[in-house]
Chain A
Amino acid sequence: MNHPNWKRRLLLAMASAVFIGGTAGIAQAAEVTLLNVSYDPTRELYVDFNKAFAEYWKKKTGDTVNIRQSHGGSGRQARSVIDGLAADVVTLALAGDVDAIATNGKLLPQNWEERLPNNSAPYTSTIVFLVRKGNPKKIKDWGDLVRPGVSVVTPNPKTSGGARWNYLAGWAWAKRQPGGSDETAREYVRKLFKNVPVLDTGARGSTTTFVQRGIGDVAISWENEAWLALKELGPDKVEIVVPSISILAEPSVAVVDKVVLRRGTRTVAEEYLKYLYSPEGQEIAARNYYRPRNPEVAAKHQELFPKLELVTIKEFGGWAKAQKEHFGDGGVFDQITTQ
């Protein structure tokens, strides 16, 4: 007296229940949480931006979105995501760190840069110097950083995206000097790091070292971080020095596909990043001293962002090549710091 049909029906019903139960939370979610894993100096930017996006999203969908932030050295943050930190989105200091998540963690596709405008870099920044009031060591350009007796503060390129931009900007300047070559540039960065007494893991730590601990004569800094320090401490404490040449830093953003797929947060995560490109998002970026992509917003804030010669990562063959040659295990940085 078997009833195979009944058995199949029950199994079908249970399978349907599994499916419905599993997806019910997604379909009916009125409150969603996102984790934005970012790099060190973006704390203030994303506090402002998250608030604006939450309001925008509530207005648009009626849903509540809570965005948690995680900050640290960009390279270290990428490592954490690869190791399992469930980031819905990453907003890191450079494309190379997102590449690492795609390549080593297989958490998003290799073509992630193509999914958003401007190679998924909604704002840019550059590298400047932060010196003490009156610039007592007369720091004007990159060459001054390797003078004997000048103490330089910069984070560790092994863990900090900002530090890698710092390093490459200095390298580019050295190569542009008369008789400049890879060899002279290498010698330049060797001397530069000999003048660095402390290697912080991230840019915010480096700012703390320079500003709060009073260490060093000059800090090589993100432009936005330098402005923030100036704003907080006042011009009677620190000054910004813009070097003759710097680098176009393009912090990259991406949705972490495997995480949003698992958590059912793809839509809101994508919209979150797209909102960075909106006029409101660009305005918030500019207010936090990041160079906006939007020309109108950039024009409105042009006094914050002096024009200077900016090299790009292409000069180093792209991030994959630069990372391997300069910052990979046994790369130039390892060589010069172990000499």
Chain B
Amino acid sequence: MNNKRAVALAILLLPFSGAALAQQAPAEPADGNAELKQEIEAQKQRLAVLERKLELQQEAAATAAASAPRITANAQRFQIASSDNSNFIRFRGTLFADNRAYAGDSAPETADTFLLRSVRPTFEGTFAGIYDFKFTPDFAGGRASVVDAYAAARFKPGFVVTVGKFKPSVGLERLASEPDLRFMERGLPTFLVPNRDLGVQLSGDFAGGAFSYQVGYFNGVADGQSSDNLPSPDVESDTGGDYAARVFFQPFIDSDNFNLRGFGFGIGSTWQDLDGVATNPYLPSYRSQGQLNVFSYRGNTATGTTPNNATFADGERLRLAPQLYYYRGSFGFLGEYTQVKQDVSRNVGGTTLSDTLTHSAWQGQFSWFITGEEESFRGFTPQSTFRPGKEGTGAWELVARIQELDIDDDAFAGGANSFANPLTAISKESSYGIGVNWYPWNTVKLSLNYDVTRFDGGAATGDRADEQAIFSRFAINY
């Protein structure tokens, strides 16, 4: 019985003991889980720490990259800039290798030549997003000279101060940078305006460029000359400064009418009152479109104790240069007229002859990208590049120009007492030219120009022979 009771009790208690076992059984794994949980937590912490460290490294790398100087070296530019681009130094340069050939009898055979027309490395930069500098020497022609060397402060778009050696703002084509010229050589009106000079200029744009102005005070240079052509290069050599001013309007620059957007017009002017002397006449000579000297004032022919009888500048010089351009699509037009009034004197046999001479020049210049690029006063972007064996022609451009330079007839009045010798100096040149430019790459340009120039005077009998100039150029504009 006892056994039976014991068995019965055991059976009776079995469910409870089972339940108890069931309750105890998880107790052991629970301890194991706790350890496991701790280990998992520890591993999770380690993983989180590693992830966070990686995150911080990435943040640090991004921060460093954002503030690191940026170096750009590609087909367009070589530049080192601060991360915000407000400080940079850029290296640029131009190299023009030209060939000049003349047809007919218009030039001596020696005029046919190869030459380096421009070898100009440029260093330019900006500091603090406001202060600019530019330095361009030129090593062409077997000599070294400073072309541009100036500093500018862009306080506001309408208030920019420039000091140093640079282009006084007068002639329109003169203000175009060399790589942006459509013809290899600038036109006849440019012979009448200053090239580069030393001085200070105040300039600015308003309404997004709808109106711009430049006023400046310079040492003063003869027509078409730079200050490095002065008797002492880049040094003031007379007492009268040259005052320059220019205004230019692009009234439709923001217009929705794309036919008018590329229209601009303006006028530039300089005024100087200078006293030349026969030994330093401060007067220019003028060239043909083929770059040959075709006009000079009389030089000294006196001998012994006879006073120097060269013609010299003696009084005011006033230049006026109305100008305009129009660009629409792949078509462009640039036109300008320049007039210079110059007081001159000449001492002939003890008598001083004086007069005010007025010379003038004008040009109309047409350009057309047959490959569809957009014409503009300042550069363009080729739609394709040319690489042998691959697609793309580069940009092709046709250009044409008609122009004239007219010397005041009074320069030749008076026979032997005239200010210029009609037997050697032309009184007028009229020129037309055509050309083609090929831009296989945006920094490479190949040009071929053909100019025919007709002259009035400038020869012992009749007129100077017509000039037919065939110029070609391989240009790198980096």
- Does A306 interact with chain B (Cβ within 8 Å)? no
Residues of B within 8 A of A18 (CB): 159, 161, 202
**Cβ contact within 8 Å between A213 and B52:** yes
- Does B155 interact with chain A (Cβ within 8 Å)? yes
Residues of B within 8 A of A22 (CB): 155, 159
- Does A201 interact with chain B (Cβ within 8 Å)? yes
- Does A221 interact with chain B (Cβ within 8 Å)? no
- Does A214 interact with chain B (Cβ within 8 Å)? yes
Residue among B49, B200, B243, B274 with the most chain A CB within 10 A? B49
4 additional A-B pairs beyond A2-B273, A25-B156, A205-B59, beta carbons within 8 Å, are A1-B273, A7-B241, A14-B202, A80-B67
As a 0/1 sequence over residues 204 to 219 of chain B, the CB contacts with chain A under 8 angstroms (1 = contact) are 0000000000010100
As a 0/1 sequence over residues 45 to 58 of chain B, the CB contacts with chain A under 8 angstroms (1 = contact) are 10011011100100
Of A1, A17, A151, A200, which contacts B315 at CB under 8 A? A1
Q: Which residues of B417-472 have CB atoms within 8 Å of chain A's CB atoms?
A: none
Q: Which residues of A19-34 have CB atoms within 8 Å of chain B's CB atoms?
A: 21-22, 25
As a 0/1 sequence over residues 79 to 94 of chain A, the CB contacts with chain B under 8 angstroms (1 = contact) are 0100110000000000
Chain A residues packing against B (C-beta within 8 Å): 1-4, 7, 10-11, 14, 17-18, 21-22, 25, 80, 83-84, 151, 197-198, 200-201, 205, 209, 213-215
- Does B73 interact with chain A (Cβ within 8 Å)? no
**Cβ contact within 8 Å between A1 and B56:** no
**Cβ contact within 8 Å between B52 and A198:** yes
**Cβ contact within 8 Å between B239 and A2:** yes
Asked, given contacts A2-B273, A21-B156, whether A215 binds B200 with beta carbons under 8 Å apart, the answer is no
**Cβ contact within 8 Å between A200 and B56:** yes
Of A4, A21, A213, which contacts B48 at CB under 8 A? A213
- Does B316 interact with chain A (Cβ within 8 Å)? yes
28 A-B pairs within 8 Å (CB atoms) are namely A1-B273, A1-B315, A1-B316, A2-B274, A3-B240, A4-B239, A7-B241, A10-B217, A10-B243, A14-B200, A14-B215, A17-B202, A18-B161, A18-B202, A21-B155, A21-B156, A22-B155, A80-B67, A84-B82, A151-B45, A198-B56, A201-B56, A201-B59, A201-B60, A205-B56, A205-B59, A215-B49, A215-B52
**Cβ contact within 8 Å between B275 and A1:** yes
Chain B residues packing against A (C-beta within 8 Å): 44-45, 48-49, 51-53, 56, 59-60, 67, 82, 155-156, 158-159, 161, 200, 202, 215, 217, 239-241, 243, 273-275, 315-316
Residues of A within 8 A of B156 (CB): 21, 25
**Cβ contact within 8 Å between B202 and A215:** no
**Cβ contact within 8 Å between A14 and B159:** no
CA distance A11 to B215 in the complex (A): 11
Residues of B within 8 A of A10 (CB): 217, 243
Residues of B within 8 A of A215 (CB): 45, 48-49, 52
Of A21, A151, A201, A213, which contacts B51 at CB under 8 A? A213
Residues of B within 8 A of A1 (CB): 240, 273, 275, 315-316
Asked, given contacts A2-B240, A18-B202, A22-B155, whether A197 binds B49 with beta carbons under 8 Å apart, the answer is yes
Residues of A within 8 A of B202 (CB): 14, 17-18
Residues of B within 8 A of A214 (CB): 44-45, 48
CA distance A84 to B86 in the complex (A): 11
CA distance A25 to B158 in the complex (A): 12
Residues of B within 8 A of A205 (CB): 56, 59
